[in-house]
């Protein structure tokens, strides 16, 4: 009798465990732009964890690095009254969407999971609107990285450059031996990503912040900025002639195959090496972008949550938010994505040496002022000002007759017009 009772109790308990999934399963449509090999593996981790909870994942992937195309599609879907449950929206754009009334509060989940304790305030502030969480952060990407093919460097007899001057020297030697020194794709966001790293190297974190966060005209319209453009021009002269329109992961592939020696790109590039089964320190190297050692331009991916009406879909949406901050997800996803966890309490033992180096620099730079939000990935300024900077940078990169002084003036007026 007793054992029968135990049996029923066990059955009832397992029903309780099963019931919430089967009864309350919902659909979660997620907009993102993670379509490269490495990115897709990371996205799959999230999809899998949602499906394991009984929910249906509706993939809303819009290809295009940096997410410009995804944002355009999102706007038209939202305007027509049919937004997805979650969309990869970053930085100040989160507030822009919240102000328009599209987003829903995640306070219940956030309280329950104690988000304020898990996430650094610098990041949680960006996720909130009027004091309430409306987005959940996924990771921390470092933008100022250099990806290197060590075989090519060995063959040419050069070392990984640590300053821009060293970079120019090394690049000359690589070029003389018939290698493409810098793999790059000629797309505005990629031009801006390289410019971002050169600006950090030339300006240092304090002036970088003044220029791209505070929009201080004394820094934006200065000789220093002219020098940033001049150095950027020189860096870009080591890119091959076929770069126009090339995707960033194709450029990473060129480094992998030894056609090119280096790439300046955020650590989503590492995901491509990981997906190809390569090991850092052996098959490829990660180093700070020249001149930026110890500094860290951060880029935080996050999902903003839209207001929905279907109760089950709301439940799925909350489960999505909760899942993203679970330690298991943080490890699995970030190992595949190339980034580091956004939770501050994670054990980095299971991560590769590049991720460990990234975490170390993230922490040391947040103590010594070297941590800055990346303007090229939407963390430093409004989407409007970012767009203006992109235009100026990309026109300069594509100009037959680039003029740093004139372009500095253009940058100043472009930013001013958007403020």
Q: Which is nearer to ligand GAL, 231 or 336 (CB)?
A: 336
Closer to ligand GAL by CB, 87 or 160: give it: 87
Contact 67, 91 (CB under 8 A): no
Residue 333 binding ligand GAL, by CB under 6 A: no
Scanning residues 140 to 169, which ones bind ligand GAL (CB under 6 A)? 141
Nearest to 293 by CA among 122, 146, 141: 146
Contact 61, 34 (CB under 8 A): yes
Q: Which of residues 294-313 bind ligand GAL (CB under 6 A)?
A: 299, 301
Q: Report if residue 34 touches ligand GAL, rule: CB under 6 A.
A: yes
Strand partners, 60: 31
Of 263, 195, 188, the C-alpha closest to 233 is: 195
Considering beta carbons, is residue 55 or 377 the nearer one to ligand GAL?
377
Residues 103 and 307 sit within 8 Å (Cβ to Cβ) = yes
- Tell me how far, at minimum, the Cβ of 189 lies from ligand GAL, in Å: 7
26 or 266: whose CB is closer to ligand GAL?
266
The residue among 252 and 407 lying less far from ligand GAL, judged by its C-beta, is 252
Among 212, 268, 303, 375, binds ligand GAL (CB under 6 A): 268
- Residue 15: exposure state from Cβ atoms within 10 A (0-12, 13-18, ≥19): exposed
Nearest position to ligand GAL, beta carbon: 65
Q: Which is nearer to ligand GAL, 260 or 269 (CB)?
A: 269
Q: If DSSP codes are grouped into helix, strand and coil, which group holds residue 199? A: helix
CB of 145 to ligand GAL, least distance (A): 12
Q: Where do the H-state alpha helices sit in 28-149?
A: 37-52, 68-79, 92-99, 107-113, 115-118, 121-127
- Map residue 137 onto helix, strand or coil: strand
At closest approach, how far in Å is the CB of 187 from ligand GAL?
Answer: 10
Rounded Cα distance between 127 and 398, Å, is 35
CB of 34 to ligand GAL, least distance (A): 6
CB of residue 386 vs ligand GAL: minimum separation in angstroms?
Answer: 11
Q: Which of 26, 29, 33, 46 binds ligand GAL (CB under 6 A)?
A: 33
Which positions from 228 through 257 interact with ligand GAL, judged by CB under 6 A?
none
d(CA 64, CA 372): 25
Two structure tokens written together for 239:
């890119």
- CB 338 to ligand GAL: min, Å: 8
Instruction: Note whether 39 binds ligand GAL by CB under 6 A.
Output: yes
Considering only residues 41-100, where is the footprint of ligand GAL by CB under 6 A?
65-67
Least Cβ distance, residue 300 to ligand GAL (angstroms): 8
Bridge partners for 302 per DSSP: 137
Q: Which residues contact 349 (CB under 8 A, 6 or more apart)?
A: none
Helix axis angle for 268-275 and 327-337, nearest 10°, is 80
CB of 266 vs ligand GAL, minimal distance in Å: 6
Near ligand GAL in 113-142, by CB under 6 A:
141
Count, residues near ligand GAL per rule CB under 6 A: 11
Q: 300-325: string of b/e by CB count within 10 Å (b at 16+)?
A: bbbbbbbebeeebbbbbbbbbbbbbb
Rounded to a whole number of angstroms, the minimum distance from the CB of residue 265 to ligand GAL is 8
Residue ranges in 369-388 that form contacts with ligand GAL under rule CB under 6 A: 377
Specify the residue for token string 């599609």. Answer: 73
| Closest CB to ligand GAL among residues 174, 380 | 380
Residues contributing to the site for ligand GAL (CB under 6 A): 33-34, 39, 65-67, 141, 268, 299, 301, 377
């Amino acid at each position: 009798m007793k054992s029968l009772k135990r049996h029923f109790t066990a059955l009832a308990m397992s029903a309780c465990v099963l019931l919430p999934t089967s009864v309350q399963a919902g659909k979660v449509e997620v907009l993102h732009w993670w379509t490269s090999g490495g990115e897709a593996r990371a996205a799959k981790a999230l999809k899998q964890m949602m499906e394991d909870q009984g929910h249906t994942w509706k993939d809303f992937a819009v290809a295009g690095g940096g997410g410009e195309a995804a944002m355009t599609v999102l706007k038209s879907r939202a305007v027509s009254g049919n937004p997805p449950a979650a969309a990869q929206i970053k930085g100040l754009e989160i507030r822009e969407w919240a102000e328009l009334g599209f987003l829903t509060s995640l306070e219940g989940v956030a309280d329950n999971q104690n988000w304020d304790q898990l996430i650094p305030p610098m990041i949680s502030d960006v996720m909130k609107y009027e004091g309430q969480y409306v987005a959940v952060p996924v990771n921390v990407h470092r933008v100022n990285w250099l990806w290197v093919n060590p075989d090519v460097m060995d063959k040419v007899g050069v070392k990984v450059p640590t300053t821009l001057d060293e970079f120019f020297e090394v690049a000359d030697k690589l070029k003389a031996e018939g290698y493409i020194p810098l793999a790059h794709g000629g797309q505005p966001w990629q031009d801006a990503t390289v410019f971002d790293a050169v600006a950090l190297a030339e300006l240092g974190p304090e002036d970088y912040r003044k220029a791209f966060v505070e929009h201080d005209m004394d820094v934006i319209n200065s000789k220093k900025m002219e020098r940033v453009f001049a150095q950027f021009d020189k860096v870009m002269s080591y890119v091959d002639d076929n770069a126009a329109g090339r995707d960033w992961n194709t450029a990473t592939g060129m480094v992998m195959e030894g056609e090119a020696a280096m790439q300046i790109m955020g650590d989503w590039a590492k995901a491509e090496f990981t997906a190809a089964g390569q090991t850092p320190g052996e098959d490829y190297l990660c180093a700070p972008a020249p001149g930026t050692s110890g500094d860290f331009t951060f880029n935080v991916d996050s999902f903003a949550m839209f207001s929905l009406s279907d109760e089950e879909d709301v439940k799925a949406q909350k489960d999505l938010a909760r899942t993203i901050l679970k330690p298991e997800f943080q490890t699995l996803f970030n190992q595949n994505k190339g980034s580091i966890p956004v939770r501050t309490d994670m054990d980095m033992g299971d991560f590769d040496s590049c991720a460990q180096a990234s975490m170390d620099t993230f922490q040391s730079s947040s103590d010594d002022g070297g941590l800055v939000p990346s303007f090229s990935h939407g963390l430093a300024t409004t989407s409007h000002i970012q767009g203006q900077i992109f235009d100026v940078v990309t026109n300069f990169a594509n100009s037959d007759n680039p003029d740093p002084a004139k372009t500095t003036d253009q940058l100043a007026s472009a930013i001013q017009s958007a403020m």
